[in-house]
Amino acid sequence: MSTPVFVTGIGVISAIGSNVSENLASLENEQAGMGNIRYLETIHRNELPAAEVKLSNKELSEKTGLPGQVSRTALLSTIAAKEALEDAAIEDFPRLRTGFISANTVGGMDKTESFFSAFLTANNRGKLRQVVDHECGKITEIAADRLGIKNYVSTISTACSSSANSIFLGARLIRNGILDVAIAGGTDALTRFTLNGFNTLMILDKEFCRPFDENRKGLNLGEGAGYVVLANEQVASSLRKKPYCLLSGYANANDAYHQTASSPEGTGSFMAMQGALKKARLTATDIDYINLHGTGTQNNDIAEGTAIKRLFGPVYPKMSSTKSFTGHTLGASGGIEAVFSALAVKYGLIYPNLRFHAPMKELPFQPETTFLTHQNIRHVLSNSFGFGGNCSSLIFSAI
């Protein structure tokens, strides 16, 4: 592999914790983050469970130092990205060529929704400051300003593969000598638009989701943010602590099958995983653990499972969906799961697929159901597949 890219810092906030250590403790103790909706104003509050971050906007604002009118999406982003940057502890950071590549799908929609609730009653009502941060790029800019990053700032929005693609882009910028360091990942907050949209598609489970289970009924929406600090070899070698792992492979593919569904054969999923293996110069037998996209919908799990069967059979690595803990955090999912993957490589961990009981009849494998430690993990494959057929896979490898 030419021009290695190192993961030197990680940061995460989700329904199972406000930082890396809290998330890891919840994974180990099999504590899921789903429950009744508390903070989002919605008619579905007591009907549809969701995986909300367990902090109010006021509490998030106090943690970031950002004003209260800032979107929840930006608050989550700032917390996780700051943790990742502090974890990396790059002493000469201001003098390096640095970038912030962040993903999201809802932008400041949570605030816009509040504006229109008042505005629609009378066109002279509503606070305009609630709509100025609506677009996705503004969320990235707010967090980048807080981090002091100005060299390169970019936003990715490709549905549920968004933050995997931001990590993908960060690695390419480093490999091509454009940046020395990239903070890459993504963020998304729950909004009424998102909840209502997924409910209209009839893919939300009224109980806690069961990815890759024969009796799965859909997904639970979640929110959060996850970032990794990527660095070139020169920066990584100057740090006081050893990097978590390498980002050795990545690929993006599109099966162009349907606006909101994957092809039944998992064509895009297969091409993304195959491309990531090729980029990393690995074979299927080299992968020790797959962090599944694993949403719990009928379509996703059969498409992803069929692609895994085609690529890995007849010998399968251990695998699980951590969305059984965090819910589906949409544009943030690839970033959150990149953090979990880096931890899996560094500490030899396998995460459980909660609430799994019945194997899918179409598949010859099933996910892990217990938290495993001291595993010999050299390579982890992390999948993120989005609407519109946009499929991305990342590979994290031991150093």
Number of Cβ within a 10 Å radius of residue 318? 18
> Cβ distance 102 to 138 under 8 Å?
no
Pair 88, 179 in one domain: yes
Residue 210 maps to a domain: yes
Query: 181 pLDDT exceeds 80?
Result: yes
DSSP string computed for 259-328: SS---TT-HHHHHHHHHHHHHHT--GGG--EEE------HHHHHHHHHHHHHHHTTS--EEE-THHHH-B
238 pLDDT band (50/70/90 cuts)?
very high
Pair 60, 136 in one domain: yes
Pair 191, 116 in one domain: yes
Rounded to whole angstroms, how far apart are CA atoms 311 and 253?
A: 15
Pair 215, 354 in one domain: no
Q: Is the dihedral of CA 203, 209, 210, 211 positive or negative?
A: positive
Q: Looking at residues 243-247, what average pLDDT do you find?
A: 98
Q: Looking at residues 219-243, what average pLDDT do you find?
A: 98
Residue 86 maps to a domain: yes
Q: What per-residue confidence (pLDDT) applies to 1?
A: 47
Q: Say which DSSP state 60 is in.
A: H
257 pLDDT band (50/70/90 cuts)?
confident
Pair 261, 200 in one domain: no
Q: Looking at residues 202-207, what average pLDDT do you find?
A: 97
Q: Looking at residues 259-277, what average pLDDT do you find?
A: 90
Which SS3 state, helix, strand or coil, does residue 225 take? strand
Rounded to whole angstroms, how far apart are CA atoms 81 and 139?
A: 12
Last residue of a domain, one of 205, 238, 271: 238
In this structure, what token pair is assigned to residue 67?
């004003």
Cα separation values, 215 from 221, 291, 319, 384, Å = 18, 21, 19, 22
Q: What per-residue confidence (pLDDT) applies to 129?
A: 82
Residue 79 maps to a domain: yes
pLDDT, tens digit (0-9, with 9 covering 90-100), for 376-392: 999 999 999 988 789 99
Q: How many domains does the chain have?
A: 2
Last residue of a domain, one of 173, 206, 238: 238
- pTM for this model (two decimals): 0.97
Residue 295 maps to a domain: yes
Pair 320, 275 in one domain: yes
* Active centre residues (catalytic): 160, 293, 328
Q: What per-residue confidence (pLDDT) applies to 111?
A: 93
Query: Mean pLDDT score of the chain, rounded to an integer?
Result: 96
Q: Looking at residues 200-221, what average pLDDT do you find?
A: 98
Q: What per-residue confidence (pLDDT) applies to 112?
A: 93
Q: What per-residue confidence (pLDDT) applies to 340?
A: 98
Residue 158's beta-bridge partner residues?
A: 160
Q: Looking at residues 39-45, what average pLDDT do you find?
A: 95
pLDDT, tens digit (0-9, with 9 covering 90-100), for 52-99: 999 999 999 999 999 988 999 999 999 999 999 999 999 999 999 999
For residue 47, give the CATH number of its domain.
3.40.47.10
In this structure, what token pair is assigned to residue 249?
């492979």
Query: 134 pLDDT exceeds 70?
Result: yes
Residue 78 maps to a domain: yes
Residue 129 maps to a domain: yes
Query: 233 pLDDT exceeds 90?
Result: yes
Q: Looking at residues 335-346, what average pLDDT do you find?
A: 98
Pair 141, 264 in one domain: no
Pair 148, 61 in one domain: yes
Pair 171, 84 in one domain: yes
Last residue of a domain, one of 238, 261, 278: 238
> Cβ distance 75 to 57 under 8 Å?
yes
Residue 41 maps to a domain: yes
What is the residue range of 281's domain?
Answer: 247-397
Q: Looking at residues 35-57, what average pLDDT do you find?
A: 96
Q: What per-residue confidence (pLDDT) applies to 246?
A: 98
Burial class (CB in 10 A: 0-12, 13-18, 19+), 22: middle
Pair 171, 30 in one domain: yes
Pair 302, 336 in one domain: yes
Q: What per-residue confidence (pLDDT) applies to 96?
A: 97
Q: Looking at residues 169-185, what average pLDDT do you find?
A: 98
Pair 148, 48 in one domain: yes
Residue 1 maps to a domain: no
Burial class (CB in 10 A: 0-12, 13-18, 19+), 104: buried
Q: Say which DSSP state 54 is in.
A: S
Query: 253 pLDDT exceeds 90?
Result: yes
Count of CA atoms in the C-beta half-sphere (13 A) of 148: 7
